[in-house]
Structure 1
Amino acid sequence: MSTPTPAVSQAPLPFSFSLAAGAIAGVTEILTMYPLDVVKTRFQLAVGAADASILGTFKEIVKSEGPKALYRGILPPILVEAPKRAIKFGCNDMYAQIYKREFGLKDGKSLAVLTGMSAGVTEAAVVVSFDLVKIRLQDKRNAGKYKNTTDCVKTIFREEGFRGFFKGLEATVLRHAVWNGGYFGVISTARSLFPEPQSKEALLATNFACGTIGGTVGTMLNTPFDVVKTRVQSQLAAPYKYGWAAPAIRTIIREEGVAALYKGFGPKVLRLGPGGGILLVVYDFVTTYMRKHFM
């Protein structure tokens, strides 16, 4: 996962170490970038409307709903962020070792894409329910419907049953598999284009640049599935307009045009581009510390 750091052993990390490092990286990223996620969701739920400006949407949310609205729904992603990011990095390392051992694959772009997509599928199964609750809380149309996160969970269970928490699972799997495959695959390629870091500062700069590039490409690839996921998970009662990903994409294109599949791309890429850089820098910093002090 990490670019070799001078004088630090690069023996494979124990899975528990990778999980812990991924968790720390993920919580750091979400606390920094979450308001952009709220704006992204508002854009994606605006059926038939063109995206407003990001700054204008920030101002409108603060003016009409108060500054706290920029963090509405943050508890579910905070609760799942640790296992989500831990899985992103920990399972990526675990799958890499499995594919190398069982199939004889070597380090490179193909392995990075394959392990990233495998980790993304695993990650999606864990986060889908938390993401659904977050979307319900972020949706302006639900203002006043839920008192808090706990009330939202109870209401979903009462009105939609246990299966309601898994709405949008298919689109979530596609979103995470495509993003992770693009993210880790691009990082593998980008690192080969940068000169070998000769200092700690150069290593951090390279990691941030590669992570940002990887996050941007991953976002370009997976945004259509993210729009579908948001539309599916926001639906409260039958008849449902959006179901499986492919028919939902066709419906969006037919009614709103191809560009609608990229609603919310601006705030999303602003979050996940630099956010991907933050993830990689913090993850590499923590794993380097672990290797130095605990291995």
Structure 2
Amino acid sequence: MSNQTDDKNKPSLVKQASLQIVAGGSAGFVEVCIMHPLDLVKTRLQIQNKKMVRNTASSASTNEIYYKGVFDCFRKMCQHEGLFSMYKGIIPPIMAETPKRATKFLCFEQYKRFFMFGSDKATPLAYSLAGLGAGATEAIIVNPFEVVKVTLQANRAKSTEAPTTFTVARQIIKQDGFGLKGLNKGLTATIGRNGVFNMIYFGFYHSIKDYFPAYEDTTHEFLRKVGIGFLSGTIGSIFNIPIDVAKSRIQGPQPVPGQIKYRTTCGSMLTVAREEGFGALYKGLLPKVMRLGPGGAIMLLVYEYSYEYLKERFL
């Protein structure tokens, strides 16, 4: 009799999934609004080729500018393209982040349930496999937005003169269609990048969190989760950045217009390492860590606190 009562009191899977979608979407929206400028700088650093770009003091064209690092990129973008250039390409991620993060957190919870194989407690392997599956799933949804975003971020015109999101999307579709040469260019790289990141991100966060006891003090507990979330995002970024560089090269402008140099994920990584050195595979690591370290903490905290609030409010 008591088992029947417990089953009735359990929230339905549909209700839980709905709250996970809302909490995940909220986490994505907050994170992208705060951290987008660092994502833009990361892309600029990743797509530039030092051997093909020469930075001269008398340069009249922004296409000839070479960025020496994160702060140099910020300075030169503000100088040549205006302050609001820091938010170039933000519309695609805003449009994508809500369904993307909602999908990621929803899929993570469901994949975790699957990989627990009926057990009451998830193992580190279950967390990691669930993260891998969630990252691959979200990549399929978000890749068209990534192609448009990278195209916008690579454009060096002043922010007032840059093409709009919808203009760029229409142009890509008109020229190359919706397939793997057009709006879904670099899909394999996006799947690899997101899959590796989320495998480490979720696997590390949920496994390590259990080793450090929760604090009763809300401030200390908040800081504990921030620290673990920051570390999870940082480690995930370090491991997946070579794939991220390949993705940016595939989806960004090719060195010679009309000639496709970067085609496949592994081929692009080999080309970059051969022509520019192994270290080039880690271009953009600093802004990526600066974004996904705190960004990873922001996402997990917004998700967890939002989900707990929604559960108390609606379940």
TM-score normalised per structure 1? 0.91
Q: Of residues 133, 155, 177 in structure 1, which corresponds to 2:148?
A: 133
- Equivalence for 2:268: 248
1:259-291, CA deviations, whole angstroms, 9 ceiling, x for partnerless residues? 001100000100000000111111111011112
CA contact (8 A) 1:120 1:173 kept: yes
Larger helix proportion of the pair: 1
In our comparison, the structure showing a higher alpha carbon Rg is 2
Work out whether 1:74 is the aligned partner of 2:90. Answer: yes
Distance 2:219 2:44 in 1: 38
Can you give the 5+ residue segments of structure 2 that lack an aligned partner in the other structure? 1-8, 52-65
CA drift at 1:199: 2.7
1:57 corresponds to which letter in structure 2? Answer: C
Deviates more, 1:220-229 or 1:137-146: 137-146
Distance 2:158 2:126 in 1: 45
CA drift at 1:131: 0.5
Assess, with a 3 A threshold, how the Cα gap between structure 1 residues 215 and 45 changes in structure 2: closer, same or farther: same
1:145-192, CA deviations, whole angstroms, 9 ceiling, x for partnerless residues? 962111111111111122100100000000000000010111023213
Can you give the 5+ residue segments of structure 1 that lack an aligned partner in the other structure? 1-8
1:123-150, CA deviations, whole angstroms, 9 ceiling, x for partnerless residues? 0000100000000000035779962111
Work out whether 1:264 is the aligned partner of 2:280. Answer: no
Provide the aligned C-alpha RMSD in A: 2.2
Identity %: 36
1:265 corresponds to which letter in structure 2? Answer: L
Distance 1:228 1:282 in 2: 30
Q: How does 1:81-230 map to 2 (within 5 A)?
A: 81-101=97-117, 106-140=121-155, 147-163=163-179, 164-230=182-248
Distance 1:119 1:269 in 2: 21
TM-score normalised per structure 2? 0.85
Distance 1:226 1:142 in 2: 24
CA drift at 1:61: 0.6
Distance 2:40 2:79 in 1: 15
Larger RCO (CA under 8 A, 6+ residues apart): 1
Distance 2:294 2:10 in 1: 26
CA drift at 1:205: 1.4
CA contact (8 A) 1:76 1:133 kept: yes
Distance 2:76 2:237 in 1: 25
